[in-house]
Amino acid sequence: MILDVNGQAEEIRTFGGTVGDILDSHDIDLDKRDEVKPGVETKVDRDMTVTVNTAKKVSLSVDGEETDEWTNANTVGQALADLGVDAKGADLNTKANQRLKEKGNDIDVTTSKDLTVVADGKDHKVSAAVGTAKEALKESGVKLEKDDFLSVPMSADVSDDQVLTVNRVENKTVKDKQSIEAEVETKKSDSLYEGETKVETEGKDGAKQVVYKVKTINGEEVKKEKKDEKVLSEPETKVVLKGTKKKETPADTGGSDSGDSGSSDSGDSGGDSGDSSTGGGDSGSSGGSMSTAEIKAMLGGPGSKWYSIVECESNFDPKASNGTHFGLFQFLPSTWHSVGGSGNPADASPQEQFQRAKKLQAEAGWGQWQCS
């Protein structure tokens, strides 16, 4: 018969009646973890093979995870299969056919993994027995520059189907040309009426060059630090004149007293004159001169929008003019004519000026006056 102990077979002769008798006769002491086939109570015959696989202690490390195991296998490869470790394509610290000892068996296994290294917008597939991110990166063929880094530490363990991302870092110097806004200086001028302004000096923005240190990761800016600044051209101050000149207010002569100072014939003549000018828009004596108080009352008094406009535009002076705008409402001659007026707006009666202003407002809105 054949006696096989831990893979070492020899032909023996025996007169024992059971497998246990054979083992005793060959001084083989069994431990409870040992494996015997067939069992020790089995009766023997001359063609039988008795197999004994003793228990062996293994210190096993699989992808960095360490355990202590017992196996009845006789080789490293058999032990891995017995312990359920897939060693196909794996990297071992010893050969698969290396025979196991009773004790002191250290087996390190780095299993084969399929993972992806993403770099520069491309996927680099890796299928190899790698244990760390550094090993996976080396297998991918992707190189890291000085400041580049992985999405995990280089020493980190990796697993199947893991994705590692290479972060490209760039530190660069950027020069940026920027404008220096010109200051605005306001000067008082008695050559302009109150509310009027005039640009005396246009002014000009300056320019400067600013140097930044910029850090980007995968093309996106993450840090910007100012390093230097140089003035290329100084700004030139803009000067604006602001009017202080008061607009003259016509004297309040009192229209009714003026009418009484003439003779009755003269008054009749004035009446005829007023009748003849009715078609001209109340420019005759019948609508004639009005006191400031009467003009204010005509406009609706304080709180009226018309009152506010005239106060701002002409300070209630029906003869007001700045050379281009005329009258209570500061009409342009072309605008005055467009609403039915004739001649110079300042020569028309306050009533007619108000009539034309209301017509303009109805047609074009309040936007015709800045003071609205």
Residue type, 308: S
> ∠ CA(16), CA(18), CA(22), 5° rounding?
55
Residue 193 pLDDT exceeds 70: yes
Model confidence pLDDT, tens digit, residues 164-175: 999 999 999 999
Q: What does the block give as tokens for 287? A: 């609508």
Q: How far apart are CA 313 and CA 325, in angstroms?
A: 10
pLDDT confidence band for 15 (50 / 70 / 90) = low
Q: What is the side-by-side strand order in the sheet with 184-193?
A: 184-193, 238-245, 197-201
Mean pLDDT, residues 312-321: 94
Residues constituting the chain: 372
Residue 259 pLDDT exceeds 70: no
Tell if the pTM clears 0.75, that is, is over it: no
Q: How far apart are CA 122 and CA 142, in angstroms?
A: 11
149 φ/ψ angles, rounded to the nearest 5 degrees:
-150, 160
Please name each of the domains of the chain with its CATH number. 2-53 (no CATH), 56-110 (3.10.20.30), 112-167 (3.10.20.90), 171-245 (2.20.230.10), 282-368 (1.10.530.10)
Lowest mean pLDDT among 22-36, 117-131, 276-290: 276-290
Mean pLDDT, residues 46-73: 89
DSSP 8-state symbol, 18: B
> ∠ CA(168), CA(173), CA(176), 5° rounding?
125
Model confidence pLDDT, tens digit, residues 131-151: 899 999 998 999 999 999 999
Model confidence pLDDT, tens digit, residues 328-337: 999 999 999 9
Mean pLDDT of the chain, nearest integer? 85
Q: How far apart are CA 347 and CA 319, in angstroms?
A: 7
Is 73 within 8 Å of 79 (Cβ atoms)? yes
